[in-house]
Amino acid sequence: MRGSNRAPFDPSAPTEGRNQLRTLRTLLPYLWPDGHPGLKARVVVAMLALVGAKALTLTAPLFYGRIVDSLSGPAQIVAVPLVMVAAYSLARALSSVLNEVRDGLFSRVAQHAIRQVALQTFQHLHGLSMRFHLDRRMGGLSRVIERGTKGIQFLLNFTLFNILPTIIEVVGAAIILHVIFGIAFSSITLLSVLGYIVFTVWVTEWRTKFRREMNTADAEANTKAVDSLLNYETVKYFGNDGHEAKRFDVSLARYQHFAVRSQVTLSMLNVGQQITVNLAAFVLLLLAARGVIAGTMTIGELVMINTYLIQLYIPLNFLGFVYREIKQGLVDMEVMFDLLVVSKEVADKPDAKPLVINRGTIEFDHVTFGYNDDRIILRDVSFTVPAGKTVAIVGASGAGKSTISRILFRFYDVNSGAVLIDGQDIRDVTQESVRAAIGVVPQDTVLFDDSIGYNIRYGKPTATQQEIEAVAKLASIHDFVASLADGYATRVGERGLKLSGGEKQRVAIARTMLKNPPILLFDEATSALDSHTEKDIQASLRKVSANRTTLVIAHRLSTVVDADEIIALDKGQIVERGTHRDLLARQGRYAAMWNKQQEAALYQARLAEAGADAAE
């Protein structure tokens, strides 16, 4: 069944029930990277620094209590408080230094992990099929990576620098309180912390859906804004500014709604947390005060307990925020890691070898194909482009011509039948080798937002300036480029929008010539050119495609009269085939199309003539 091997991907899908441990497990190897002993050493030392820092923090209140006692006691010996003050300050200072050491050491590990994950995701996305990308919104995908990597950062920072130290601190403080003051103090401390955590987790779980809705609305608003601004020209053509604003505002309103709910529930959480904290502090200090009055505890000890409480609840106060961020980070990471497991619809077989190209015979053998199960686009299409020959495909718009080129390039696999290059099924060889063998000038050229030179060089990154100019001349674009103030360094704007359609096509032709592949595929490569420029380029194309296997898709029949074979496609089926002469003689569909186009051309010519007359 076609399409059934696609793993579903939806960034807004609820992640409830998914195993978050699995997400963490996915991350772990990146933090303990094989082949990087230096990074592993950093992890170990950072951990030691973390434990050391906490141990020092835990001893500080002990010294503090002794300071108070030695100052408030009857016999005041100056040396004791002085030593204690020094010890207290040193412990705190050293603890801070160790924390910085930890941060510094670990940051390289974390950044390395983030870079690896982002790179892998990016590479994986490029490995996914055309269908996946056509179904997705670009802005959405790049934000998934952006948020996913941020999620990793949050998670690492907060787990290592907050959660773990806090756990050590809570346990350590409980043990110390237990040893010095007994079970009442330690159990109240532990219980309050536990209650605090349970309450925080519970409320945060409930709140997460608002955060998620907020994120979805945010992504939606962003996608709409990007799409709308990219279509600036179209929006103006139809005067739809108001419509676009309304569409955008719908998403904004949704975001607003959930952002408010998110804030209100956050406040509720904070109130609950404060009640827990202060209740525990109240009870503990009450107990301590009673101890002091009864003479079983010193004032220094009361101060010590208070210091522990304050020290403990500072990071715990953070816990609410940290838990929320980690939770969010996990959600974002899951979405990104889910991208990594989207299976490749068009994938190399495990034993796929590179295509061995001899002279580049292309064979379509009873190919049937549909983008979706419910609609067949190509029906039992068979044809051969013999090595070094040129075959043209003509036919009405929507007949399936570009689809043939996408199948040859293996953007999609066929439903039945096979496509062979030099006798090898393209499904049995590596995609990379197939794509390296074919040069495509697509119907719609999109350029990178860089210079004209960069876009031409894209066909062969190692090309010299001379090579670039040579192909530019062949594609009749050199003179145009030379006339620009910045020459080849002229920037083309996003998607190449600052060039005319014909200029873009010529850049596309030039870069394909630079690639210099054994097989050429021209999909309406000159459709946007005036007939004069087209004639120039046709001559170049003929030169380039001589002795090269070439598939030409054309609407203007005058450009394919020289083809070795012309195939007329209609609704995905081959209805006629032969040379231009054969087909004209047959007086069929092709002949009818030809006559119509000739008439139109004649009419155009007369119009031009009349225009010239009138101008005289």
Ligand X SMILES: Nc1ncnc2c1ncn2[C@@H]1O[C@H](COP(=O)(O)OP(=O)(O)OP(=O)(O)O)[C@@H](O)[C@H]1O
Is 397 a binding residue for ligand X by CB under 6 A? The answer is yes
Which residues are CB-neighbours of 422 under 8 A, at least 6 positions away? 355, 356, 357, 358, 359, 360, 361, 387
**CA distance linking residue 72 with residue 577, whole number of Å:** 108
- Compute the least distance from the CB of residue 553 to ligand X, in Å: 7
Q: Strand order of the sheet with strand 519-523?
A: 438-441, 519-523, 549-553, 390-395, 565-570, 573-578
Identified binder of ligand X from the candidate list 1, 79, 134, 183, rule CB under 6 A: 134
Note the maximum CA span of the chain.
125
Which range touches ligand X (CB under 6 A), out of 190-198, 238-246, 349-357, 393-401?
393-401
Asked if 575 contacts 568 with a C-beta cutoff of 8 angstroms, the reply is: yes
Identified binder of ligand X from the candidate list 399, 429, 438, 510, rule CB under 6 A: 399
Query: Total number of residues binding ligand X (CB under 6 A)?
Result: 13
414 binds, among Mg ion, ligand X, none (CB under 5 to 8 A by kind): none
Identified binder of ligand X from the candidate list 95, 215, 265, 403, rule CB under 6 A: 403
Residues that bind Mg ion (CB under 5 A): 401-402, 443
Measured between alpha carbons, how far is residue 365 from residues 93, 108, 399, 408, 548 in Å?
77, 54, 18, 12, 21
Q: Which is nearer to ligand X, 182 or 398 (CB)?
A: 398
- Compute the least distance from the CB of residue 406 to ligand X, in Å: 7
Is 476 a binding residue for ligand X by CB under 6 A? The answer is no
Q: Which is nearer to ligand X, 193 or 569 (CB)?
A: 569
Asked if 600 contacts 592 with a C-beta cutoff of 8 angstroms, the reply is: no
Is 189 a binding residue for ligand X by CB under 6 A? The answer is no
208 binds, among Mg ion, ligand X, none (CB under 5 to 8 A by kind): none
- Compute the least distance from the CB of residue 523 to ligand X, in Å: 7
**Amino acid identity at 290:** R
Contact positions with ligand X (CB under 6 A) in 322-381: 371-372, 377
Measured between alpha carbons, how far is residue 492 from residues 227, 455, 495, 573 in Å?
19, 9, 8, 39
Going by C-alpha positions, the residue among 190, 210, 435, 461 that lies closest to residue 331 is: 210
Q: Which is nearer to ligand X, 262 or 402 (CB)?
A: 402
- Compute the least distance from the CB of residue 415 to ligand X, in Å: 13
Measured between alpha carbons, how far is residue 501 from residues 230, 235, 449, 523 in Å?
17, 19, 15, 14
Contact positions with ligand X (CB under 6 A) in 542-571: 555
**CA distance linking residue 302 with residue 290, whole number of Å:** 10
Identified binder of ligand X from the candidate list 204, 402, 424, 526, rule CB under 6 A: 402
Find how far residue 168's CA is from the centre of its chain: 37
Is 392 a binding residue for ligand X by CB under 6 A? The answer is no
- Compute the least distance from the CB of residue 571 to ligand X, in Å: 9
- Compute the least distance from the CB of residue 566 to Mg ion, in Å: 16
Is 513 a binding residue for ligand X by CB under 6 A? The answer is no
Is 214 a binding residue for ligand X by CB under 6 A? The answer is no
Q: Which is nearer to ligand X, 399 or 525 (CB)?
A: 399
Identified binder of ligand X from the candidate list 11, 61, 329, 400, rule CB under 6 A: 400
Going by C-alpha positions, the residue among 335, 364, 358, 274 that lies closest to residue 151 is: 335
- Compute the least distance from the CB of residue 613 to ligand X, in Å: 35
Identified binder of ligand X from the candidate list 57, 216, 443, 559, rule CB under 6 A: 443
Which residues are CB-neighbours of 359 under 8 A, at least 6 positions away? 387, 388, 422, 518, 549
Q: Which is nearer to Mg ion, 361 or 550 (CB)?
A: 550
Q: Which is nearer to Mg ion, 108 or 131 (CB)?
A: 131
Q: Which is nearer to ligand X, 300 or 400 (CB)?
A: 400
**CA distance linking residue 70 with residue 78, whole number of Å:** 9
**CA distance linking residue 462 with residue 534, whole number of Å:** 29
398 binds, among Mg ion, ligand X, none (CB under 5 to 8 A by kind): ligand X
Is 104 a binding residue for ligand X by CB under 6 A? The answer is no
Residue 449 DSSP code: S
Phi first, then psi: what are they for 367, rounded to 5°? -85, 125
- Compute the least distance from the CB of residue 402 to ligand X, in Å: 3
Q: Which is nearer to ligand X, 148 or 400 (CB)?
A: 400
Q: Which is nearer to ligand X, 174 or 508 (CB)?
A: 508
Measured between alpha carbons, how far is residue 459 from residues 295, 408, 498 in Å?
88, 19, 20
379 three-state secondary structure: strand
403 binds, among ligand X, Mg ion, none (CB under 5 to 8 A by kind): ligand X
Asked if 510 contacts 456 with a C-beta cutoff of 8 angstroms, the reply is: yes
Which range touches ligand X (CB under 6 A), out of 7-15, 136-144, 391-399, 493-501?
391-399
**CA distance linking residue 510 with residue 476, whole number of Å:** 9
- Compute the least distance from the CB of residue 403 to ligand X, in Å: 3
Task: Give the number of other CB atoms < 10 A from CB of residue 596.
Answer: 11
Measured between alpha carbons, how far is residue 139 from residues 80, 124, 218, 332, 344 in Å?
65, 17, 11, 15, 21
Is 401 a binding residue for ligand X by CB under 6 A? The answer is yes
- Compute the least distance from the CB of residue 227 to ligand X, in Å: 18
Q: Which is nearer to ligand X, 224 or 401 (CB)?
A: 401
Give the CA dihedral 53, 151, 109, 156, nearest 10 degrees. Answer: 20
397 binds, among Mg ion, ligand X, none (CB under 5 to 8 A by kind): ligand X
Q: Which is nearer to ligand X, 373 or 494 (CB)?
A: 373
Q: Which is nearer to ligand X, 357 or 569 (CB)?
A: 569
493 binds, among ligand X, Mg ion, none (CB under 5 to 8 A by kind): none
- Compute the least distance from the CB of residue 567 to ligand X, in Å: 12
Closest-by-Cβ residue to Mg ion is 402
Q: In what helix (H) or strand (E) does residue 381 lie, and over which residues does it extend? A: strand 378-385
Is 410 a binding residue for ligand X by CB under 6 A? The answer is no
Is 505 a binding residue for ligand X by CB under 6 A? The answer is no
Tokens in use for 360? Answer: 């580049």
Find how far residue 165's CA is from the centre of its chain: 33
Residues in touch with ligand X (CB under 6 A): 134, 371-372, 377, 397-403, 443, 555
